[in-house]
Amino acid sequence: MADSAIAVAPDPSAAADLAEFIEQLRLLRAYAGNPSFRVLAKRVGPLLRPPQELTHSTVSDAFDPTRRRLNQELVAAIVQALGVPEDRVAVWRAACVRAHAAGRPAGTAGVFRQLPAELATFTGRQEQLAALLALADQVDGADQADRADQADQIDGAAAGAGHPAGPRTVVVAAIEGMAGVGKTQLAIRTAHELVRAGRFADVQLYVNLRGFDADAAPADPAEVLDSFLRQLEVPARQIPAGRAERAAMFRDRIAGRAALIVLDNAADEAQIADLIPAGPRCLVLATSRRSLAGLDGAHLFRLDVFPPHEALDLLGRVVGAQRVAAEPEAAEEVVRRCGLLPLAVALAAARLRSRPAWGLARLAAYLRDSGLDAVRAGGRELRPVFELSYRDLPPRTARAFRLLSLHPGRGFTPGAVAALAGTSEADARTVLEVLLDENLVEQRTADRYELHDLLHAFALERVATDEDEPARAEAVARLLSWYLHTAENVSRAVETRRLLETVDPRPDEPEPPHFATALDAMAWYDAERENLSGVVAHAAATGHHAIALRLPVVLLGCYQLRKDWPRWRAGYEAGLASAREVGDRAAESRLLNGLGLVLFDVRAYEQAIDVYTEALALAEELDNRPQVASILGNIGDCHCWLGDLTTAETVIKQSLEIFYELGNPQNLASSLCNYGVLLHEAERDDEAHATYTEALAASRAAGNRRYEAIIAFNRAEVCVALDRPADAEEDYRLALKAAQEAGDRPTEAETLRSLARLLAAHDRPAEALTALTEALTLLEALGSPEAAAVREELAALTPSQG
């Protein structure tokens, strides 16, 4: 029967092997009227993703009955171009996959059965999975181009013309991350997805390289190559003895084949270098707890812990979605206590599944009480997994890892690690980079590192075992002292004064950072504010009272600049407890004064007066006249805001008298500022203007740009009240410049906001809009509740678009 006489569409489902499938494909072409390969190539190209220009030889090659492999996507496009309906294209695709599987050469069954089973509970990682599958598309592109090039050379055509540009070498994906984060399962899921799609049907190899194994040494690459070569049908007597020769033979035997190779649990790049073929039709998926960044040309995938919703999904897959839905808050606590680490969630979930009488709340309580001991199920537990990463660390690096658990905060810098370890900052950077390569620490931003919660618990166990009590105590004392001295340098940059007598550095304490500008100093505070709160609390709780009672006072300017009220209050209360514990009456007075300031700042004026009165009694008892004057000024300020202007003026004038007598320009500037506020509230604006002018001169004499910004702002407000808009604008801009230089973002934002009102009131809407927009940006960055009010002001100022 002639091809053109075929009246019934062929069915590929019965094809027993690739040759029979290709015969069905040939029959389909005949059924479609035998279009020429050139015509067919023009139809097929646009159907590919992405669309491509194909030569006729690329298409004709798919009909060659001697082919050992077909590109599934090309076949699907060909049958579609031959008129097969879309619902039947899937039948041809599935038949193509079966034909490849059935068509393996005899004796190579092992090659196709190397992949371990994938977990039924595999969860999430869709973004990474899609990216890994996209790498396989690069391999397919290279494969298609190579075959077309060969056909074009036979036809005498220009090689490569019109073909997709793909890599001309193996594609390597390196999946790295901390222990238990799910690297192996992602690699195996990717491999199975590719196989199910009919890709890499020639060769599929898997090996566990045992880079981190409690019971066996890392796999010898020479032995792995021996195994690979045997699976590739190389007779044992022909396998060379040397590793380099085996690697060369492996590359030769796998050349031209579509190969998928999974190199799991690698110790390092050196272990897998000879296991990577060179052919462009190969995809290698490598996993390791160590960084594999040294692999030339590898695509790096660093896995982090799950986002909360994926951790909850995994919990639900193991214990049942209904149990999770029934106790949502407990479920969230479970995954949080597992640190969102996939292995930890899976182990905790398996424990719950094995205890039907337990609920999620019971599991959460167990995790809360038992720490790492709770993260286990049957014979599997998390601690040995971490132990494998820890055991091979160099001694200096292992010690640094242990000491990190003693840090009272979450994130840490090389400087803090140097203080803990008693080393130089350069040495600390070196060990941190090693720990980062080992995926034992995480790096969220440049120069800042973190320990995962469960690794922190493991490190705490190790430091208790491997460091004696004196060594632990010395490390903590060095760290707390380093934070105090760094904070003192911040204070000097921000407030241009020393607030307290210093505490001598400890032996081996590294040099604290210095700050050229207030902006640099405040940037350090912003990054360290959580740690500083932890340091103050830890110092007070562990008997380091000299640091606990000093550090909050040193940080006062930072607290005020950032309106950091909760940390400000907690710090001063902790410091106050330490001052009372050691009987330091002077420090107690200072700390009470600072505590009054935060109460004033949150408008708890009557509470503040009570605290100030207690501080004043102590200052008078100690005959500390500067402190007495400072507290009097603060008490007067409270009475002013309570509306008792008479009492306020009496008390503030007492403060001024003392400061005039002492001749301290900074304290005088502060007290004059308080008096100016009172005069402005009493609508005595000419006197207020004169008082602020005197205060401004005193702040300049003290060199305090922050005070200058506040006083200039206050004088601008008085000028507005006096209907002197030009003078008001000049003072607002003076305040703005000083606040920017001092890093005082709250004053900068408030100045911009007031300047915008002035500009809008004097028919300068564009400039007002710019100022108010800048104010909103600052307030949003600060997390200020005032941002909402500014948005309303901005909406009112913005011209309607209707």
Predicted pLDDT at 154: 32
User: What's the mean pLDDT in 23-31?
Assistant: 86
User: What's the mean pLDDT in 782-801?
Assistant: 78
CA 24 to chain centre: 53
Give me the residue label for tokens 């008082």: 691
Which of 610, 609, 615 lies closest to 642 in space, CA to CA? 609
Q: What is the pLDDT of residues 164-182, one digit of tens each?
A: 444 467 899 999 988 888 8
Q: Which residue has the higher pLDDT, 139 or 104?
A: 139
pLDDT band at 6 (very low <50, low <70, confident <90, very high): low
Q: What is the pLDDT of residues 525-550, one digit of tens each?
A: 999 999 999 999 999 999 999 999 99
Give the other-Cβ count within 10 Å of 519's Cβ: 16
Residues shown for the chain: 802
Three-class secondary structure of residue 794 per DSSP: helix
pLDDT band at 496 (very low <50, low <70, confident <90, very high): low
Predicted pLDDT at 477: 95
User: What's the mean pLDDT in 209-215?
Assistant: 78
> CA–CA separation, 699 vs 669, rounded Å?
5
Q: What percent of the chain has pLDDT over 70?
A: 92
Give the HSE-up count for residue 1: Cα atoms under 13 Å, Cβ half-sphere: 9
Predicted pLDDT at 610: 96
Task: Note whether 416 and 479 are within 8 A (CB).
Answer: yes
Listed in sequence order, the residues at least 6 apart from 520 whose beta carbon sits closer than 8 Å to its beta carbon are 493
Predicted pLDDT at 141: 53
Task: Note whether 106 and 165 are within 8 A (CB).
Answer: no
Task: Note whether 257 and 279 are within 8 A (CB).
Answer: yes
Predicted pLDDT at 153: 39
Class of domain 126-302: alpha beta
Structure tokens at 57: 């030889």
Question: Packing angle between helix 395-404 and helix 453-466, nearest 10 degrees?
Answer: 110
Predicted pLDDT at 391: 83
Predicted pLDDT at 331: 92
pLDDT band at 103 (very low <50, low <70, confident <90, very high): low
pLDDT band at 158 (very low <50, low <70, confident <90, very high): very low
pLDDT band at 500 (very low <50, low <70, confident <90, very high): low
Q: What is the pLDDT of residues 400-436, one digit of tens each?
A: 999 999 999 888 999 999 999 999 999 999 999 888 8
pLDDT at 588 over 80: yes
pLDDT at 509 over 60: yes
Q: Which residue has the higher pLDDT, 497 or 657?
A: 657
pLDDT at 320 over 80: yes
pLDDT at 156 over 70: no
Give the other-Cβ count within 10 Å of 679's Cβ: 22
Predicted pLDDT at 155: 39
Which of 422, 385, 379, 382 lies closest to 400 in space, CA to CA? 422
> CA–CA separation, 690 vs 711, rounded Å?
12
Q: How are strands ordered across the β-sheet holding 411-412?
A: 411-412, 448-450, 442-445
Q: What percent of the chain has pLDDT over 90?
A: 42
> CA–CA separation, 573 vs 579, rounded Å?
10
> CA–CA separation, 607 vs 614, rounded Å?
11
pLDDT at 110 over 50: no
pLDDT at 107 over 70: no
User: What's the mean pLDDT in 105-126?
Assistant: 64
Q: What is the pTM of this model?
A: 0.68
Predicted pLDDT at 605: 94
Give the mean pLDDT of the chain: 86
Q: Among 103-117, 570-584, 602-616, where is mean pLDDT lowest?
A: 103-117
Task: Note whether 272 and 266 are within 8 A (CB).
Answer: yes
pLDDT band at 501 (very low <50, low <70, confident <90, very high): low
pLDDT at 261 over 90: yes
Identify the DSSP state of 32. T
pLDDT at 553 over 90: yes
Which of 647, 690, 698 lies closest to 671 in space, CA to CA? 698
The β-bridge relationship of strands 448-450 and 442-445 is antiparallel
Identify the DSSP state of 111. G
Predicted pLDDT at 718: 95
